[in-house]
Structure 1
Amino acid sequence: MKDKFLWGSATAAYQCEGAWDEDGKGPSIWDDYCHSTANLTGITGDVSCDHYHHFKEDIKMMAEGNQNTYRFSISWSRILPKDDHVVNEAGFRFYDELIDECEKYGIVPNVTLVHYDLPDYIGTWTNPKVSDEFAYYASVVFKHFGNRIPLYATINEPSHNTACCYLIGNYPPNEHNMQHFVECAYNMAVCTAKAIREFRKLNLNSTIGVVHASGASESLADTPKYLEAIKYSNMFHNDWVLDPAIKGYYEDELIEKVKSSGIDLSFVKKEDLEIIKDNTVDWIGQNAYDRNLVKPYTGGETTATVNNRGDNDGTSKSARESKIIKGWFEVDRDENVPLNKWGREVYPRQIYNTLLRIKDRYGNIPIWITENGHGQYDIADENGYVEDNERIEFLNNYLQWILKAKEDGVNVRGYYVWSTMDLYSWINGYKKRYGLVRVDYEDGNLKRTPKKSFYWYKDFITKYKDI
């Protein structure tokens, strides 16, 4: 029997739950960061849209929108709040009740173990103990939920997480340190493999994957130098995540390129590489936002910037995301492609190109589009209704390319809009909104109002529910 295509939306624990210190939850690195002087905005996720207390309403609304799956993450700090391996049963109770609601409405849970919010006692991904601690946490989750969760994912967006922490420096620990970047990247791969090893011990009917952020690398020319830049960009953005996760090893050329960049790889352990080899994923989640448009490296030190202000006008003169990786590649600019207000390309074809590259490199592995969304400054009418036509156009254009990739033989199994409702958008705060449902942060009850995109997506699912 053909597997049912999954149509849903997604959130993440820190970004939506609120209740940051309720019911025995310990602090995460994002709690610490948001409550520190390093957070120049003073904006936190302490309450956000308070999904912790509104989840029944939120899941019912998903069902009313014809969604049959929900991607969310578990807060490690809710389950193991202290560095003592003592389980906080109240944390499990929350997620048990959330899954009860999913089951009530026939909504399939797709659950990520870590979505940026490490416990504060772990500190950073460069902690030498992180992979063993992560494996323990994962084993506790797997044993508790078992087959109630059909789709598990280990880590959300290793490539973007690593870049924000250690290259751009806009997420804690807010460093610009390529040695730590590589150590973090390696530890994340080991974390995934060790968690999968724990997962396999239980012989569950569920499956396990990893969620990847970066799109395929492209260029505006096909000269040897530009093609080399594409190769190096794919190594930097994609291959170090997906190769070990899917194939069980790193390509020698990647290792040599990293060494030639002056990175000390003495932290790499033979036993870790054996664990990676023997514990690969069943599927991957591919998040769909933008491509990596690159050109050959011309000079300058490694640097990367993003615009968290959202003051672009979408033209070529707007501030935009930039990146130079010394000796590897530089980010390029296509003047014919519009930018969103945060300087990111709006280029829907990128997901088609990305999916075809995955199929070409990794074969018929199942793929879920685990995030696809469009941030806006939404304007609501007097009733809280948002007519977000720009978001609808964005989602529709991406979906057409995703459906084409499926028709062309890519093993796409499902799709999730980012996000289910408006939520905390990391250091962009609450003005940058992605939700299908508006949250009124000025209202004491955090009133929910479906946007025009909610109803559009409901109708789209009806049209394509049997693909």
Structure 2
Amino acid sequence: MAQQGFLDKIKKKYGDGNYEGDQFGGAGGHDGSGLPNTDPSNFMFATGIECSYPTIQNGTVRRDQLRECGHYDRWKEDLGLVKEMGLQVLRYGLPYYEIHQGPGKFDWSFADEVMAEIKRLGITPILDLMHFGVPDWIGNFQNPDLPIHFADYAGAVAQRYPWVRYYTPVNEIYVTARISGKDGIWNEQLKTDHGFVTALKHCVAASIMANQQIAKYRNDCVIVQSESAEYIHELCATPSAATNLANELRFLSLDLLYANPPSATVAMYMMDNGLTREEYNWFMSGKPPGYQIMGNDYYGRNERIKLPDGSIQISMDVLGWYEITKDYYERYRMPVMHTETNVFDADEAPKWLNKQWVGILRMRRDGVPVLGFTWYSLIDQIDWDTQLGELNNRVNACGLYDLDRKPRPVAQAYKNILKEFGQITIVPYGEMLEMTDRPARLKTNV
């Protein structure tokens, strides 16, 4: 008779060989599948409602995407679609230019209605306070009074909606400053380095001051800084100084926001174009308060190839979100969120979504704390193929739903991901690291 091994003895004692409690973690534990829930350690699956509102044509036309895409009339239906998707988190922007009507003057009529419905539905908003535009009375991003006016607004929002914890004070600071101050498309429509640096320093200062005011009323605030993940590839044996500078400037907003000293080349560029030594020292004094998350927005069109003749091609995913975001993570060592992505081809969108998700899984395997993912946006957008610079009323088929609120193929693809991965934690055994409601008190350097 063959001698019994240890496994035979275990099965004789415990039946199938499993031990008591295995169902709570281990070989028989939960694999993280199932629709997202509200456990604080869980990965945040989100969408957003496109809410840009820059001006064009020398300030005479306001491109309000909430209006152009029908959200003001169908906001309750749109919020219902978030729940229909099975999502718990929504990047949502209130129309700052409409609400803030003057120093100390606010119109909360629309905001109160929609925020009450978000709260009723149990949706967690990441509240976007400034999205590519400012009120007419402030003018544009060249106004040095912007940081103090915007701080007043942020404080008023935090007082009015004390249940909101997650904020993006200023969306895509680098893009805001570049398209308004350097590319000449939005708002002040300047095409100068001085205009770019001025807009950028004012936006970063506005974000910092807003963050401080939010923390006064919500000291456990979570700040999700959404910034564009950019890169230019140059097909020249000797890359130009302009391209090298551009690939350094993509970090500039986060360098100033997170008090990370930029390179000497960038520091000289800023000071040549209006940044004072006193302003620089102020930016370098430390990170803003609260819990900080580095959000990277990635669209294939963020990556560009510069040809020897100077022309630009959209490269669509040469490095991809994973490689570019890894550069940002290694620079700042901040928790990461994929805060925006889409593609304008509705038939290609499911494939694009899956590629982004594979990048996130790989980043998580590398040990990087990735807190969430966002398909942006819930519904289609208008004229983003020209960066809102032209009034073509052209539909960009990038939403989970079209403008008639009918699902596009990517909606089902996203639901499939939610069903398979919806209850994964931010990091393995993330239950041990659940989000605390205590104030952020420690300044940790890694």
- If the length of structure 2 is used for normalisation, what is the TM-score? 0.75
Establish whether residue 287 from structure 1 lines up as the match of residue 297 from structure 2: yes
1:274–1:163 CA distance, 2 compared to 1 (3 A): closer
Of the three residues 121, 144, 148, the one matched with 2:137 is: 121
Q: Which string of whole-angstrom CA distances, capped at 9 and with x for unpartnered residues, describes residues 151-191 of structure 1?
A: 10111111111111122212222221221111111111111
How many residue pairs get matched? 379
Q: Distance between the aligned counterparts of 2:280 and 2:352, measured in 1?
A: 45
Q: Is the 8 A contact 1:59 1:101 kept in 2?
A: no
Establish whether residue 427 from structure 1 lines up as the match of residue 389 from structure 2: yes
Structure 1 residue 271, shift from structure 2 partner: 7.4
Q: Distance between the aligned counterparts of 1:353 and 1:414, measured in 2?
A: 17
Structure 1 residue 277, shift from structure 2 partner: 5.4
- 1:3 aligned residue: 41
1:199–1:275 CA distance, 2 compared to 1 (3 A): farther
- 1:411 aligned residue: 369
- 2:36 aligned residue: none
Secondary structure (helix, strand or coil) at the match of 2:343 reads coil
Q: Is the 8 A contact 1:70 1:109 kept in 2?
A: yes
1:33–1:448 CA distance, 2 compared to 1 (3 A): farther
Q: Distance between the aligned counterparts of 2:290 and 2:141, measured in 1?
A: 20
Q: Is the 8 A contact 1:190 1:275 kept in 2?
A: no
1:267–1:145 CA distance, 2 compared to 1 (3 A): farther
Q: Is the 8 A contact 2:259 2:287 kept in 1?
A: yes
Q: Is the 8 A contact 1:193 1:275 kept in 2?
A: no
What are the ranges of 5 or more consecutive residues in structure 2 without an aligned counterpart?
1-38, 425-446
Q: Which string of whole-angstrom CA distances, capped at 9 and with x for unpartnered residues, describes residues 251-283 of structure 1?
A: 544212444xx4243495367436665658611
Q: 2:417 is aligned with what amino acid? A: F
Q: 2:224 is aligned with what amino acid? A: G
- 1:97 aligned residue: 116
- 2:413 aligned residue: 456
- 1:392 aligned residue: 350
Establish whether residue 68 from structure 1 lines up as the match of residue 30 from structure 2: no
Q: Distance between the aligned counterparts of 2:417 and 2:109, measured in 1?
A: 38
Misfit runs of 4+, over 4 Å:
31-36, 43-46, 216-221, 225-231, 248-253, 274-281, 291-296
Q: 2:389 is aligned with what amino acid? A: I
Q: Distance between the aligned counterparts of 2:166 and 2:151, measured in 1?
A: 17
Q: Is the 8 A contact 2:58 2:187 kept in 1?
A: yes
1:278–1:396 CA distance, 2 compared to 1 (3 A): closer
- 1:50 aligned residue: 70
1:257–1:215 CA distance, 2 compared to 1 (3 A): same
Q: Is the 8 A contact 2:177 2:196 kept in 1?
A: yes
- If the length of structure 1 is used for normalisation, what is the TM-score? 0.72
Superposed counterparts of 1:350-365, under 5 Å: 350-363=320-333, 365=334
Superposed counterparts of 1:212-223, under 5 Å: 212-216=227-231
Q: Distance between the aligned counterparts of 1:5 and 1:246, measured in 2?
A: 24
Return the index of the structure with the highest Cα Rg.
2
Q: Distance between the aligned counterparts of 1:345 and 1:412, measured in 2?
A: 25
1:233–1:177 CA distance, 2 compared to 1 (3 A): closer
- 1:263 aligned residue: 273
Q: 2:363 is aligned with what amino acid? A: A
Of the three residues 100, 109, 112, the one matched with 2:128 is: 112
Establish whether residue 241 from structure 1 lines up as the match of residue 253 from structure 2: yes
How well do the aligned residues superpose, as a CA RMSD in angstroms? Answer: 3.2
The answer to which of 51-60 and 114-123 deviates more is 51-60
Q: Distance between the aligned counterparts of 1:348 and 1:140, measured in 2?
A: 43
Superposed counterparts of 1:190-339, under 5 Å: 190-216=205-231, 226=239, 232-238=245-251, 240-247=252-259, 249-259=261-271, 262-266=272-276, 269=279, 272-273=282-283, 279=289, 282-290=292-300, 291-292=302-303, 322=312
- 1:13 aligned residue: 51
Q: 2:50 is aligned with what amino acid? A: A
Secondary structure (helix, strand or coil) at the match of 1:449 reads coil
Q: Which string of whole-angstrom CA distances, capped at 9 and with x for unpartnered residues, describes residues 297-339 of structure 1?
A: x999xxxxxxxxxxxxxxxxxxx7x4xxxxxxxxxxxxxxxxx
The answer to which of 263-272 and 70-79 deviates more is 263-272
